[in-house]
A = this chain, B = another copy of it.
Amino acid sequence: MDDSQLLKGVLDLAVLSVLESGDSYGYEIVTRLREAGHERVGEASVYGTLRRLHNDDHVSSYLEPSDSGPHRKYYSLTTNGRRRRREDAKTWERFVETMSFLLNQEKK
């Protein structure tokens, strides 16, 4: 099973979750996700996700200069984004429970 397929549909939630603990920018978000355990997330996936979240008004953005390289494009959760995150988290939890049930079927 490929992690990449698992990420589908969950990456939005993962990114929104990272932003819940403070504004961040693409490169850092990738790093955070990898540290958390999503070791194979590709940069392109995250940038794509951010673009979509921005289009749908779930995050806003602003530029900030940096000492250690080019400027950074920070992203910040909008009200929509926060609500979206709460809803997605619930959907995710229900989903995990369903899978849990299925995975333990065998024992019966």
Cβ-neighbour of A1 out of B5, B12, B18, B101 (below 8 A): B12
- Contact residues in B for A91 (Cβ distance below 8 Å): 1, 3, 6
CB distance from A107 to the nearest CB of B (A): 9
Does A71 count as interface, using CB distance less than 8 angstroms?
no
Chain A interface, number of residues (Cβ within 8 angstroms): 39
Is A97 a contact partner of B37 (Cβ separation < 8 A)? yes
Cβ-neighbour of A102 out of B3, B6, B36, B102 (below 8 A): B36
Most buried by B among A8, A36, A38, A99: A99
Q: A21-B106, A37-B101, A105-B20 are in contact. Are A5 and B9 (CB under 8 A)?
A: yes
Is B5 a contact partner of A36 (Cβ separation < 8 A)? no
CB under 8 Å from chain B, chain A span 70-89: 84, 87-89
